[in-house]
Amino acid sequence: MILAGIAKFQRILFDGVQSKLPRKLSSGNDSLSSHDRQSYAIQDRLALSGDGKWDYASIDASHQRLYVTHGNQVQVLDLATHKVAGAIAGTEGVHGVAFAPELNLGFTSNGRSDSVTVFALDSLAVRQHVKVSGKNPDAILYVPQARQLYVFNGSSADVTVFDVPGMRIVSTIKVGGRPEFAVSNGAGRIYLNIEDQNAIEVIDIVAGKVVAHWPLAGCEAPTGLALDITHARLFAACKNKLAAVVDARDAKHVAGFAIGAHPDAVAYDAATSRIYVSNGGSATLTVAQQLTPDRYSVLAHVPTAAGAKTMAFAPATKYVCSPASINGALKVMVVTPADK
């Protein structure tokens, strides 16, 4: 059942660029003990077949598998053995992967064929291909509370909504520009970056429409997005080397911290209150500590590899998996805390 009775947002507000924030919010240099300033390093480099363009990395926690979208296929790695577990072919121009573990189903967004591939999580066998209602599907999000799949179409600036597991299109939601990463709060709201409008938009699941458009002043071309559900904090990765922290209840800009160039993925670990941002242009992984919901300190800019712009975070092990082309071969770097 779709959750009902969601409280209405009160206002839309974003208070200026990082330089206008109080020093304690914008510096990213709040003091931490040496114990808290944990170091990180690349533990392993996992080889995948072929080279060429890759996109999202995603983890199916129910089977402990890493999915890397790559050209016209999705390559799957076993996180326990670091071995290839299989592949999903026929996914032309694949971008993202989403999971419905309670249904044993996974979904890929296929940009060049304007379609979604449905597959079994246990066997990786393809169940069906279905067309989306828009053009160039990119980000993809499954919302278990609603049993709905949201596919964000980059070229048509809209969102195709499927019921699951029936895969019937129930609606198409128009958004204000090119959609990027999206997250759900599990209580009736979806937040998504609008990259070409420097904004975040909010979808009300029950209403089936956009209910808020929040300009991100000081944030250029937001891509990656993560959510701290407990404290209602959104983390948006911006092209101008800034991570913007926004209150998910009222759009207030509460903080910001420095990241690298060409970021394209963000993850939040609720257990440690840490944020991870992969920066392909500067070949780094930014790790920041949430001191309070409104105060942040950058712990490290971990060296990775040129082009390592996407990543997936494994909460159970605290590993970050980031794909990149290294010496002409596609590899997944496994970044871990030094004590792992």
Q: What DSSP letter does each residue of 318-338 carry, written as one string?
A: TEEEEEEEETTEEEEEEEEET
What is the arrangement of strands in the sheet containing 169-174, beginning at the earlier edge strand? Answer: 137-143, 148-153, 158-163, 169-174
Count the Cβ atoms, other than its own, within 10 Å of residue 35: 6
Q: What is the mean pLDDT of residues 257-286?
A: 98
Q: Which amino acid does the sequence have at 217?
A: A
Residue 243 contacts residue 275 (beta carbons within 8 Å):
yes
Q: Are 262 and 280 in contact (CB under 8 A)?
A: yes
Of residues 297 and 37, more confidence is placed in: 297
Query: What is the pLDDT averaged over residues 157-183?
Result: 98
What is the distance between the alpha carbons of residues 29 and 233, in angstroms, rounded to a whole number? 19
Long-range contacts of 233-237 (CB under 8 A, 24+ apart): 233/290, 233/293, 234/183, 234/191, 234/200, 235/266, 235/268, 235/275, 235/277, 236/193, 236/200, 236/266, 237/263, 237/264, 237/265, 237/266, 237/277
pLDDT at 338: 80
Mean pLDDT across 260-266: 97
Average pLDDT of every residue of the chain = 90
* Domain locations in the chain as residue ranges: 38-337
DSSP state of 229: T
Across-strand partners of 236? 225, 244
User: Tens digit of pLDDT for each residue in 273-305?
Assistant: 999 999 999 999 999 999 999 999 999 999 999
Q: What is the mean pLDDT of residues 114-124?
A: 98
- Choice among 28-32, 52-56, 275-279 with the minimum mean pLDDT: 28-32
Length of the chain in terms of residues written: 340
pLDDT of residue 51: 63
- Pick 38-337's CATH classification: 3.40.1160.10, 2.130.10.10, 3.30.70.360, 1.20.120.420: 2.130.10.10
CA distance 329 to 158: 35
pLDDT of 11 over the 70 cut: no
Least reliable range by pLDDT among 1-15, 43-57, 220-234, 311-325:
1-15
119-137 average pLDDT score: 98
- What is the arithmetic mean of pLDDT over 211-218? 96
Is residue 44's pLDDT more than 80? yes
Q: Are 240 and 251 in contact (CB under 8 A)?
A: no
Identify whether the C-beta of residue 136 lies closer than 8 Å to the C-beta of residue 155.
yes
pLDDT value at 314 more than 60: yes
**Residue by residue, what is the 3-state secondary structure of 68-90?**
EEECCEEEEEECCCCCEEEEEEC
pLDDT at position 163 = 98
Distance CA 91, CA 70 (A): 9
Q: Which two tokens stand for residue 180?
A: 């990027």
**Residues 140, 191: Cα–Cα separation, whole Å:** 12
Give me the half-sphere count of Cα atoms (radius 13 Å) on the Cβ side of residue 250.
6
pLDDT beyond 50 at 34:
no
pLDDT tens for each residue of 73-109: 999 999 999 999 999 999 999 999 999 999 999 999 9
